[in-house]
Amino acid sequence: MTGVSQATVSLVLNGRHDADVRIAPGTRERVLQAIRSTGYVADPIARRLAARHNRILGVFTYEPVFPAGLGDFYHPFLVGIEECAERVGCDLLLLTSAPVVDGRRRIFHPDNRLRLADGCILLGRSLDPAELARLVAEAQPFVSVGRRDDAGGPVPYVGADYPAATAAQVRAAVALGHRRLVYVGQGAGPESHADRLRGFAAAAAAAGVDGRHLPIAGSGAAEVLDAIRADRRTCVFVEEFADGVAIAEVAAARGLRVPEDLSLVALGDPTRPAATDIDVTGYRIPRREMGWQAVEVLAGMLAGEDGPTQRILACEPVAGTTLAAVAGA
Partner DNA sequence: TCGCTTGACTAATGCGTATTAGCGACACCG
Partner DNA sequence: CGGTGTCGCTAATACGCATTAGTCAAGCGA
Contact residues for a copy of itself, defined by CB under 8 A: 39, 41, 43-46, 48-49, 54-56, 64-68, 72, 75, 78-79, 82-83, 85-86, 89-97, 108, 110-113, 115-116, 134, 138
Helix 75-88 with 287-302: angle, nearest 10 deg:
40
Distance CA 257, CA 322 (A): 10
Q: For DNA, which is the closer residue by CB, 10 or 276? A: 10
No. of H helices and E strands in the chain?
10, 14
Residue 312 phi/psi, 5-degree rounding, is: -125, 125
Query: Is residue 49 involved in binding DNA (CB under 7 A)?
Result: yes
For residue 171, the minimal CB distance to a copy of itself (Å) is 33
Query: Is residue 310 involved in binding DNA (CB under 7 A)?
Result: no
Cα angle 166, 170, 171; round to 5 = 115
Cis link prior to 259 (omega < 30° from 0)? yes
For residue 168, the minimal CB distance to a copy of itself (Å) is 27
The helix or strand, by DSSP H or E, that contains position 56, with its residue range, turns out to be strand 56-61
Question: What's the N-to-C CA distance of the chain in angstroms?
Answer: 88
Q: For DNA, which is the closer residue by CB, 55 or 125? A: 55
Q: Sort 60 into a burial class: Cβ within 10 Å, 0-12 / 13-18 / 19+.
A: buried
With CB under 7 A as the contact rule, the residue among 1, 17, 33, 42 that binds DNA is 42
Q: Which stretch binds DNA (CB under 7 A): 22-30, 76-84, 122-130, 244-252?
A: 22-30
For residue 21, the minimal CB distance to DNA (Å) is 6
For residue 106, the minimal CB distance to a copy of itself (Å) is 12
Q: For DNA, which is the closer residue by CB, 118 or 269? A: 118
For residue 237, the minimal CB distance to a copy of itself (Å) is 30
Count of residues in contact with DNA, rule CB under 7 A: 27
Q: Which stretch binds DNA (CB under 7 A): 44-52, 116-124, 160-168, 171-179?
A: 44-52
Question: CB–CB of 135/112 below 8 Å?
Answer: no
Query: Is residue 37 involved in binding DNA (CB under 7 A)?
Result: no
* Residues of this chain, 50-89, that bind DNA according to CB under 7 A: 50-51
DSSP letters of 174-243? HHTT--EEEEES--SSSHHHHHHHHHHHHHHHHHT-EEEEE--TT--HHHHHHHHHHTT--EEEESSHHH
Q: Give contact residues for DNA (rule: CB under 7 A).
A: 3-8, 10-11, 13-14, 16, 20-24, 26-28, 41-43, 46-47, 49-51
